[in-house]
Structure 1
Amino acid sequence: MKHLTSLFLIAAICLLTYSCNTFSEKESPKELDKDLEAYRHTLPAYQWLENGANYSNKVYQDSAFYHFNHQLENKNYEEAAIYLIAYGNALDRNIHFDRLYFNSCRNFYNSHKDKISSESQSYLCYYLGAQSYFNHDLDPSFEWFKKGIALKPKSKSHKQIVGFTNFALAQNYSLLRDFENTEKHLIAALRIFEEIGDVKNQGTVYLLLHDIFVKTSALAEAEKNLEKGLQIVKKQGSKSLTFSAYSLYVNFNIAKADTLGAIKYIDSMAIQAKTYPEINNYHKAVLNQLLAFKHIAQREDKEALDYLKIAREMTDQSNSLDLQMRTLFQEIMYAEIFDKPLKNPEEAEAFYNEIAAEEEPNIQFMTQLGSGLHTYYSKKGDYKKANTYASFILRNQDKESKALINGKLFELERKFKTEQKEKKILLQEKQLQSQKELIVTLGVGAVFLILLFVILIIWNKNRSIVREKLLAENFTSLLLSKTEEERKRIASDLHDSVSNELVNLRHALESNSSKFSAKIDTILEEVRNISRNLSPTLFDKLGLKLSIEQLTDRAQNQHRFLLTSEVDYNGDLSNTVELQLFRIIQEATTNMMKHAEALAGKITITEDAKFVYAEIKDNGKGFDADSMLKKGNCFGLLNITERTKFINGTVRFKSTNTGTVINITIPK
């Protein structure tokens, strides 16, 4: 079975991502102070959409485009891009081409790339390149990937996606057998993964470096990189990458004509698959192909045919040329070993001619296909066609011998350079050792004293910080609690005393003067308003939702201000937290009506499994939130901020000359 030495292509190695803060809606995007990756996970439904396992759900696509279009309609371009990133991640995990996603993502990028962060641009370029790759369209795949790495990264997550993109570019160059550029981009990816401490994907790079050395017949270098990659991914506990590494070991042993070694790792893959419940269809198909190979090698006809049928069914259901080629090779080998007629010679010839027509045809694949077609046409008696394939195989033998020699020379040259470098480093280390010993001896005492002094300072400082923090939290809690008690007391006094007296006065004057009666009605209404503002009527009984509806009704009826609300909340917060949230909303709407010069406003409350989200927005003139908070002379904003801190929430102010949006996030 020597002609099978390069039967298997490298298994598709799925990079484990990752799957990021809002930007100004109408201004040129600026890099955010916060981590964009962390912000992405705070958006509604993002985590569900990012999960590749949910892609098969029938509502997935509708849900993804609902959130994307909603953000796009509101001109929240950064958030719209983030939902495309979640969608792209799910497709990447499933190795699937989605034309609707591809077209929507491409149109959005071309129209709005200047309005989103450079990190989001890199993510979208990566997914557009990956989608082009899944659609077997390499030219645009190269273009998108190169756009993605052209943007200078600043954050860790941005550096990581640039690393992934370099890795993907390397895979593209590997398909074209441009191993110089393949190695260049793999090394670039490795440097990035080392810089950000992404150990798992360092292992992924070593696995693909192994494949380069296999294809250039440098087997010693290939084995070294494969072993390094396997140890990393096993230590990191990545079942997907460990499975891929075992498949590469199968390929490597076949390249060495070690069939028993290949079967050993096929058995390891089968065991690994049982502990890998989320195994994707691509890996399932690869496993069935390799199990078919095992039984073919062991001359077990029935078992080989059973696995081959399963592999063919899975291949036909997929959109992967790689799987089609793999399955076809297994079928050719099965027909040759068991002296069976080749069932699909037309498909084999079509693949052969397609590969031969490429600018740089894959000689190994042509040899595999040509061998099977030569055997088929020889048995059929079509010696003219059989001789055509035989001639190609003979011509290629010299080329394979030269490639093997070049691989050995490469290994020797690399070994020589490594030894020279090691000798030079050893000499330098000896020269530095004596100097280090002296410096260490003198420095140890000084460092010990300095460290002791620093530890004492830090310990005292930490004690002070903890004490001050505790005092501040107690003060805030007491202040807010006492404020609410005082408000309720005042409200009760106004209602029970002042209000009743005015009612009595009104009855006394009714018969004498309608003017006094109207004036007293006005005073009564004002007292009732004060009472409601100080303590919402029956808040404990009505709850948050109805209290907000009362607030919007009063704004429209009494102040002629268009204020609406949309509350999707089931009451998972405590009464204390609900009351503080209502006070925050009350403060925000008061500021809106007094200072914003707005025509309308809206209050929105939503929730997910972990958080409750409140949004108060208007179409007013806006303000500089950062500047006002720094000055400390804006009681309204400080009141909102302190109340939010008290209930362990976070607040974000976003204000432009077209309106203000206040976002509150509260943990359940």
Structure 2
Amino acid sequence: MLYKYGALVSNMYLHDSVSVTYTQKFLDHNFSVKKDTTFVLLYYVCANQLSYANKQKEAIQWAKKTLYHNALQNKKIDIRAKNLLGVCYNYTNEPKKAIEIFAKIITIAEQENDYKFLGSLNNNMAYAYDMLCAYNESEKMYKKAAYNFLKAKDTTSYFSLQTTFATNNFGQKKDTLQTVRFIDSLLKEFQNYSQPGELDHSNIYGVKSLRHFLLKQHDSALYYIDKSSNYYRKSNNSFYLMFNDMFADQIYFDKHKKLKNKQKTIAMAEEFLANESKFESQELYHLLYENAKIENNTTEALYYRDKEIELKDATLIQNQKGQLFEIDKKYQAEKKEKLLSQQQALIYKNKTLIIGLLFALSIVLLGTFLFYTRKRKQEIQAEAIRQEQFTFQLLQNTEEERSRIASELHDSVNHDLLNIKNSLINGKSIEVSDVASVIEEVRNISRNLHPAVLENIGLEASIENLCERLTEIGLFTTCEIEYNEELSKAKELQLYRIIQEALNNTLKHGKANAAKVILTTQNNSLHLEVKDNGNGFDVSQQLNNPKSFGLQSILQRAKTIAAKINIDSTNKGTVILLKIPV
């Protein structure tokens, strides 16, 4: 009873955890029953069901138990248990073990003309070659599998194989036109079958989804991938469902430029990675990287980019191994056709040539990679320097323009006002103090536009003078300065402007009654601290406010002098800290 039910759900590609539990309990209790073929098949059914549940390591143990209890008494059970063992090795990323098993039992299946089973073996071996990135060998096996499934009139396995081939072939070659044509021919062929099953429809929905995705018809692609997934949900097949969920994520992101459920995508990426499915994990980390870029989350973007590159490197190494594997396989085939004496000479010659070519190719690839990496790094550095110079020059030009305006105001307007003053002294009725006030105001404007005092008396005295003027107009401002002229005049000007802007913001917006400026030299760098006892502000909100010109000006000026800046503001006051390299 247990075997019949287990075999039934397995033949329908379904998983029933309750059936597995009862079967395992029955076998573990070691009831005194006849250890016949049916008893051995219970181990096989358990292994099969565990594999469907994506519990591959457990499935391997139960497949080995099947072989142990069978002990070659039943040849059919033996080769099917070995086939399942090979499948599990594929899923646990051990393709070489799988190929070794498949190669042995393919010979047996060929002798018995069991075309359906032979097609399954060819398909499984093709998958193992895919994992080794031996794509030429894989394609040969896919074609053999298709031939044998058609010969066995197993349309379900045939269409399952062809849909897998379409997906894998596009993943390898990225040839949209070729893939769409192949899918169209497959859909046309599918129409000729009168009674396709649920699994057939699920597979066809899957390739329809791929076709619509390649043609940028996202809604249709999402519709068909969901229809394909319905079967795997119904059959509780989490392994294949996860592949469909991954593809659905790719379709959704391609349409909306964002992930539907980032946490689910992260979980899938980690699960694929845990199952050694590096290509799928790499694709998902690429989606997470692109999503983080769109969200302007630099930290996440860098993290997922590193993950993607790490997996790409691993894939590249696997590709190289796959090429070596195919070269070696071809070499071994040719080797058998020659006499032993000729083989020895040919082995040495060809191996030397192959190794030399691979070594040369590796050197060229490595050199090219290092060259472009270094070139790219230099370009990034150069661009950063250009940007910094541009910003600095822009601010310098602004200061030069302010200097010119200040000079004109001082030399022309002030001169005219002095003449008026002299005229008034000679008998006019206008008060001299009024004109003197105008002159003082013009001088203040000139001083704000370009602090000439900075050039005359230096940075330290200029800061002290600024603090005194602010104290005179109502903001009690003190300063502590230990400065030994470590900066250039141009950088001193930018630093002075930062202090001036910070104190002006305090005066205008901070509602403070006291402020302090501290400038000291520590460990080859200048440390500036400007603080007040005002009511503070929301730093994040103001940084994102395009009207906060004063704050943006401080940040830009800090950037031009390569300073690290930190702004902390609460309802007890604001503190601006700068660290300037000298």
* TM-score range normalised by the length of the shorter chain: 0.5 to 0.7
Match of 1:592 in 2: none
Verify the 8 A CA contact 2:15 2:237 in the aligned structure 1. no
Match of 2:310 in 1: 395
Superposed, which structure 2 residues align to 1:120-269 within 5 Å? 120-152=38-70, 158-254=74-170, 255-269=172-186
Work out the CA distance in 2 between the residues paired with 1:410 and 1:137: 29
Residue type of the alignment partner of 2:103: I
Work out the CA distance in 1 between the residues paired with 2:59 and 2:99: 18
Flag the structure with larger Rg.
2
Work out the CA distance in 2 between the residues paired with 1:87 and 1:277: 28
Match of 2:287 in 1: 372
SS in 1 for 2:337: helix
Work out the CA distance in 2 between the residues paired with 1:355 and 1:241: 25
Verify the 8 A CA contact 2:99 2:125 in the aligned structure 1. yes
Quote the offset at 1:390 in angstroms.
Answer: 1.0
SS in 1 for 2:204: helix
For residues 514-540 of structure 1, give each alpha carbon's deviation from its aligned partner in whole angstroms, at most 9, with x where no partner exists.
xxxxxxxxxxxxxxxxxxxxxxxxxxx
Match of 2:21 in 1: 103
1:328 aligns with 2:245: yes
TM (norm. structure 1) is 0.47
- CA RMSD across the alignment: 2.6
Stretches of structure 2 that go unaligned for 5 or more consecutive residues are 343-582
Work out the CA distance in 2 between the residues paired with 1:362 and 1:410: 20
Match of 2:210 in 1: 293
For residues 116-144 of structure 1, give each alpha carbon's deviation from its aligned partner in whole angstroms, at most 9, with x where no partner exists.
24422321111011122233333332221
Residue type of the alignment partner of 1:147: K
Quote the offset at 1:332 in angstroms.
Answer: 2.7
Match of 1:55 in 2: none
Quote the offset at 1:316 in angstroms.
Answer: 4.4
TM (norm. structure 2) is 0.54
Q: 1:399 to 1:376 in 2, by over 3 A?
A: same
Work out the CA distance in 1 between the residues paired with 2:17 and 2:264: 26
Quote the offset at 1:172 in angstroms.
Answer: 0.9
Work out the CA distance in 1 between the residues paired with 2:186 and 2:238: 22
Work out the CA distance in 2 between the residues paired with 1:315 and 1:240: 15
Count matched residues.
340
Q: 1:369 to 1:196 in 2, by over 3 A?
A: same
Quote the offset at 1:229 in angstroms.
Answer: 1.6
Residue type of the alignment partner of 1:119: T
Residue type of the alignment partner of 2:44: Y
Superposed, which structure 2 residues align to 1:561-600 within 5 Å? none
Identity %: 19
Work out the CA distance in 2 between the residues paired with 1:242 and 1:413: 30
Stretches of structure 1 that go unaligned for 5 or more consecutive residues are 1-82, 428-668
1:423 aligns with 2:338: yes
Verify the 8 A CA contact 1:218 1:407 in the aligned structure 2. yes
Q: 1:277 to 1:84 in 2, by over 3 A?
A: farther
> Of residues 408, 411, 425 in structure 1, which corresponds to 2:326?
411
Match of 1:91 in 2: 9
Work out the CA distance in 2 between the residues paired with 1:386 and 1:393: 10
Residue type of the alignment partner of 2:329: R
Work out the CA distance in 1 between the residues paired with 2:36 and 2:197: 31
SS in 2 for 1:115: coil
Residue type of the alignment partner of 1:148: T
Match of 1:342 in 2: 259
Quote the offset at 1:424 in angstroms.
Answer: 4.4
Work out the CA distance in 2 between the residues paired with 1:216 and 1:239: 28
Verify the 8 A CA contact 1:289 1:330 in the aligned structure 2. no
Q: 1:240 to 1:317 in 2, by over 3 A?
A: closer
- Which protein, 1 or 2, shows the higher relative CO under an 8 Å CA cutoff with sep ≥ 6? 1
SS in 1 for 2:259: coil
Verify the 8 A CA contact 2:83 2:102 in the aligned structure 1. yes
Verify the 8 A CA contact 1:288 1:308 in the aligned structure 2. yes
Verify the 8 A CA contact 1:288 1:307 in the aligned structure 2. yes
For residues 188-240 of structure 1, give each alpha carbon's deviation from its aligned partner in whole angstroms, at most 9, with x where no partner exists.
43244245442321121111111111121111111111112211211221112
Q: 1:302 to 1:274 in 2, by over 3 A?
A: same
Q: 1:294 to 1:231 in 2, by over 3 A?
A: same
Verify the 8 A CA contact 1:291 1:304 in the aligned structure 2. yes
Work out the CA distance in 1 between the residues paired with 2:193 and 2:42: 29
Verify the 8 A CA contact 2:159 2:204 in the aligned structure 1. no
Match of 2:508 in 1: none
Superposed, which structure 2 residues align to 1:427-442 within 5 Å? none
Quote the offset at 1:89 in angstroms.
Answer: 1.6
Superposed, which structure 2 residues align to 1:626-665 within 5 Å? none
